[in-house]
Structure 1
Amino acid sequence: MDRGINTRCIHLEEDEGKCLNYGALSFPIFQTATYEHPEVGRSSGFDYTRLQNPTREQLEKIIASIEGGIDAFALSSGMAAITLLMELFKPGDHIIVEADLYGGTTRLFDNVSKKNNYEFSYINCSEDDIEKEIKDNTKAIFIETPTNPMMNVSDIGKIAKIAKAHNLIFIVDNTFLSPYFQNPLELGADVVIHSGTKFIGGHNDTLAGFIVTNNESIKEQLRFLIKTTGSGLAPIDCWLILRGVKTLGVRMEKSQDNAIKIANWLKNQKHVTKVFYPGLPEHPGYELIKKQARGFGSMLTFYVDNKENALAVLANVRLIKYAESLGGTETLITYPVTQTHADVPEEVRLKNGITNETLRLSVGIEDIDDLINELDRVFSLLDEK
């Protein structure tokens, strides 16, 4: 019998009925760099923490379980995860990429991967014809869905069929919805990426990244690469993510409930010109996300009527924090043009819809009345100018 995701966020079925680690309910932090061997040819199963560590192994098993993969890899950040994944490719390879990506991913591709002679084609994967971009040297498709920050929704199952027909690796950054709401591997993806700093960790207290796969060949390559490059997540950070992921489900449900209410509230504000949230029926990806996910998440983006008011909102929030990142218990507001997408060329940002009037909210788990009152106070100040 399959266990529910909330149970799998806490328990590994293989450990049930066993008194492990002296019965400690909190999995221990194995803060060690190396391990003793009783003799040549015999091992505890661990040799050196760069290769593997018991705390990291426990975390990786849980993430693989909730994302539906055969293996997971815990890395020092989400960007470290994408950087390691790029080592699957070689100079001359071509990758089709979603145009509306997190700015740090675009920065990596344009300033590091291109230096290594990788080729990228940026397209709107929710609207453009992907097959027209496939060439003889195309090796992969890399998407986010929903995208950051414009919340575009791509059809994972449809793209998976295209990838398989052309023998391409299909990679999905699933950070915005987390494994709780969406499992791209079940829809045909080969690899899933997460910034574990965000919803999986959930408390804005550590950095982490994950790669999850259900492909045996990719698994073997990544297991070799993670021990070779040394970018695995440290034991104490693994423990923090283990602690955070236990409450993934309850946090996702609460923050989504808040986000839906805030999205509808924002729609009725005179200084807001547009709200981008896939849980709104008028969103172009609404029906698709209902088909391929179990929820809409807690990320939303909106336009205000001018740059001056965007800056005023950021200057006047108090309960809501003006900060980068997302996915924590606290509600955060971000200004993409100077924060998450500051290194994206202006013409690219504008083409994707990221303007000086764009604000992004990561909705947390505070009481909704307090969040609405905060927004009402801030927007009332705009009327007083």
Structure 2
Amino acid sequence: MTAPAAADSTASDRRRWARYLVEERAEGAVYSRLAARRTGEERAILLGLAEAERRHEKHWLDLLGGEPRRLPRAGLRSRLLGWMAGRFGSIFVLALAQSAEARSPYDAERWATPAMRADEKVHHEVVRGLAARGRRRLSGSFRAAVFGANDGLVSNLALVLGIGATGVSSGFVLFSGIAGLLAGALSMGAGEFVSVRSQRELLAATEANEDAAAAAADLDIDENELALVYRARGMDQTESLARARRIVSAAQEGVRRAATGPVAVQGADDHEIVGSDWTAAISSFLLFASGAIVPVLPWIFGLEGPTAIIVALVLVGVALLSTGAMVGVLSGGPPLRRALRQLAIGFGAAAITYALGLLFGVGAV
């Protein structure tokens, strides 16, 4: 189905078509640049999206009767995406593109074809799927980074504001902030170490071994309990019995390992999935410390009283807004709303401790 005849169009229609044209070109360029940075299936998918944008571009060119002498600039979002696509990882760009694809102007555009409207809905799902792949790859490390740094920001801001509100000296506030940084970072690191080490020890306690298979040569090939070992590991009865018979038969012939090879056990790579306890501990320590140092900076550089408090609030506010906006971008949600939520939580906690500091200040003691 084609669009209505362009003879019925107005000057406003043509200006809108020109704007659609440059936006389609900009979006196609984003997908092409992302494809140049990817390989395999993801590259093919991104190139397919770029080709679809070129089809839409041709539709508007046909309505315009060819390339106009003057075209408007692409929107700020499209230009930003194009700039980011050539410089940063695809997850950030795809997360932003997902939001853009969700707001297609073609649903209310009579000059767009039904196929184009359908394409835009499909594009949104494709981009969301690609972004989800990136989020899954990033989720573990990103979650640890955001929460570690955010914990440091909020807890140490609350601490220094609460201590500062009591009216003690700036040196005491600085000492408290550094102590809070070290205590929190060490606690985070120790907690992560114990958590990962305990998980690895639990996995080690439940690991399968081949002691039963090693004794297979002495078993009866038809009546034995070796099959129960494999049933306990999750195999069904038929498969367990067949594997047990193969191992017993091969062992009795003296070639068990050559015939069967290592037994695949589900979860054998769990140690690698859990990761290193020391790596987790050091990462948690550094991430918490990177956030906790921010509220202390004004006192480190010699500021005092209300000036130090205001500067600390500004620095932490910027950091909270940044981490909140990043969470919004990567989750596909509105970045501003996520940023303001992060800011409200952080400042809310700090306000409570500041009020307590005023209530139990030096003058009240």
- Give TM-score scaled by structure 2 length: 0.21
User: Highest CA radius of gyration, 1 or 2?
Assistant: 2
- Higher-strand-fraction structure: 1
Q: Which has the higher contact order (CA 8 A, sep 6+)?
A: 2
- Give TM-score scaled by structure 1 length: 0.20
- Higher-helix-fraction structure: 2
